[in-house]
Amino acid sequence: MENLRFALDIGTRTVIGIAYTYEEEKIKIVDEEILEHKKRAMMDGQVHDIQAVSDVALEVKKRIEERQNIEFKKVSIAAAGRILKTTRAKAEISLKEGTIIDSEVISTLEMEALSNAYSNLDLEDSNEVFYCVGYSVINYYLNDYVITSLEGHKGKKASVELLATFLPQSVVDSLYSVIKNIGLEVEGLTLEPIAAMNAVIPKELRLLNLALVDIGAGTSDIAITKEGTVVAYGMVPFAGDEITETICHHLVVDFNTAEEIKTALNTKKKTYKYIDVLGNTKTVKLDEIKRAIQTNVERLAELISEKIIELNGKSPNAVFLVGGGSQVVKLSEEVSKKLNLPKDRVAVRGIEAIKNVIYYGTKLNGPDCVTPIGIAINSINSSNSFITVKVNGKEVKLYNSGKQRISNALSLMGINPHQLFGRLGKGIAIKINGQEKRFFGEPAKPAMIFKNGEIATLIDGVDDGDDILINYAADGKDALIYLKDILNENQTAKVNGIDQPNDYILKDGDEVLILSSQEKVETIKDSITVLVNGSPITLPQKEEGYIFVDIFNYVDIDIKNAKSVKLILNDKEASFTDKINDGDKIGIDWQPHHI
């Protein structure tokens, strides 16, 4: 077949290969092969002996090629979920008085937390490169209190705690080395939890909060989905082997015999005839084995449920169990108890649950075959495994999770969010003849972000080949007020009780006593004071005077992203070009545009 494609599931114990075609929106599994590793060349999903793994993978490839009279050039593969690194990170920002939190502020906050997560990984292994494959927000905080959503709120500070998951580059490199050794090119790389999810969870269900658990021999790998994408991954170092070993000890049998007895628990048999390690032929009631393994079944369910709660923050809408270990008797029932879910909300999924697949094979069946078929499905429905974008001329590679943003690329480049949002220049507050006056620093010049030559924001998505340009923010200049700036002609003054020259630079907290004038402070030269939503703001005088729109340089309102704005000047509706005078009362009523 000219259009025959190839997928490999390189597991800890076995290598599974499938040949398939894609016709009329259905995948046809034409051939398959499964071989066990000859030695412990894989540990916990990571390649340890590249040559040994290559030898087995090559044999799987050759057997299918010979039967199908074809030579494969490309292959789709998956990285094990258990080798992913997951870390928690937190970030917080101080908010200027009156700041209304919008999507840009939230994105900046999450970007800083993601940068902190990268830093945590660097502390563990400074020589490793990691790709972020997803993150989920655990909690938002406003003034140190947990809040469901920050958008639209005001406060003194906001913070976020998130759970980020990373794929080590060394794992990717070792898998690619195996594929190169067997004369193939990687057509697509996905993650095993994503492959399994593509196989057993229809797209229309992925908007729900779901947990997928792939229970293998040594580990149980967990993925959490929300809003159509996988947002968190985890692993429990407890799985099917622990159940098998319990049977080994209970009956004094070898591992393979215990595996056969464990499988028999899901049949209609009531007894099982076996030979123990001493050569004795015996018969055991399978109900006795069910009782013997019950404690470890409950333990496995408890560990899986605890990890799901840790990753998701609560019980999900439903749980899907796949992998050979998912068939352990009563496991799904115990998981439903631990998560306080109805029994029908925890389901074991095998090949029978995979839609739009025509299966001609005989060697693979049940939950074991979910991942290799999922790899095939993923190769049809997705593009490249990684995307490359440029940030100020430097290339950065991102895992193609489908929801990568500009902020993710900047985090991976080590760009600090503070480089994108300059600070307002420091102001000063002084007392003039006993009355406090405030002078503001210059507004910051925010960063400009361009994607492919067009203005963009942190939350905009990125695609392969995108060119991102950042013009970094510039801090506003601090307020620089000379004594002469607040004096009329021929006036003199004392500052903090001491005579000072007119070129004395006023400092925050200074107290000025004007000696030769009884004029009111409001008439002081070179400044005007206006009330904005009830708060006084002092503006440096300028020859051309002020118009209404100038006020937005001194208040925390993002007029560009406002949904609606109502302007009031001295209790009357105003326009952006109305002149502003000393003592004016200004009102600004606005609504942010929620994204």
Strand partners, 498: 495
- CA distances (Å), origin 182, targets 59, 77, 469: 9, 13, 40
- What is residue 158's three-state secondary structure? strand
Residues contacting residue 478 through CB under 8 Å, at least 6 positions apart: 425, 426, 427, 441, 442
Nearest by Cα to 169 from 393, 399, 358:
399
Q: Give the pLDDT score at 524.
A: 44
pLDDT at 283: 94
β-pair type (210-215, 318-322): parallel
Q: Provide the token pair at 43.
A: 């540990």
Tokens 């945590």, residue located: 120
Predicted local distance difference test score (pLDDT) of residue 594: 47
- Give the model's pLDDT for residue 595: 38
Residues of the chain with CATH 3.10.20.30: 526-595
Helix (H) / strand (E) element for 371: namely helix 370-381
d(CA 218, CA 239): 5
CATH code of the domain made up of 526-595 = 3.10.20.30
Q: What distance in Å separates the CA atoms of residue 294 and residue 201, rounded to the nearest whole number? A: 29
Angle at the Cα of 575 (from 572 to 578), degrees rounded to 5?
Answer: 90
Q: Given this model, what pLDDT does residue 123 score?
A: 60
pLDDT of residue 434: 86
Query: In sequence order, what are the residues at sequence separation of 6 or more whose Cβ sits closer than 8 angstroms to the Cβ of residue 99?
Result: 105, 154, 556
Q: Is the dihedral of CA 501, 482, 478, 535 positive or negative?
A: positive
pLDDT at 203: 73
User: Which residue reads 């008439």 in tokens?
Assistant: 523
Task: Split the chain (595 residues) into runs of 10 and give each run's mean pLDDT.
Answer: 84 85 83 83 70 91 92 89 81 81 84 83 70 81 89 89 84 88 88 81 80 85 81 84 92 92 89 93 94 94 94 91 85 94 88 74 66 84 74 84 79 77 83 87 84 87 89 87 86 88 91 68 61 84 77 71 76 83 86 54
Residue 439's φ and ψ, nearest 5 degrees, are: -125, 125
pLDDT, residue 516, reads 61
Segments of 48-150 assigned E as strands = 74-79, 85-94, 130-142, 145-147
Assign residue 293 a region (left: φ > 0; alpha: ψ between -120 and 50; beta: otherwise): alpha
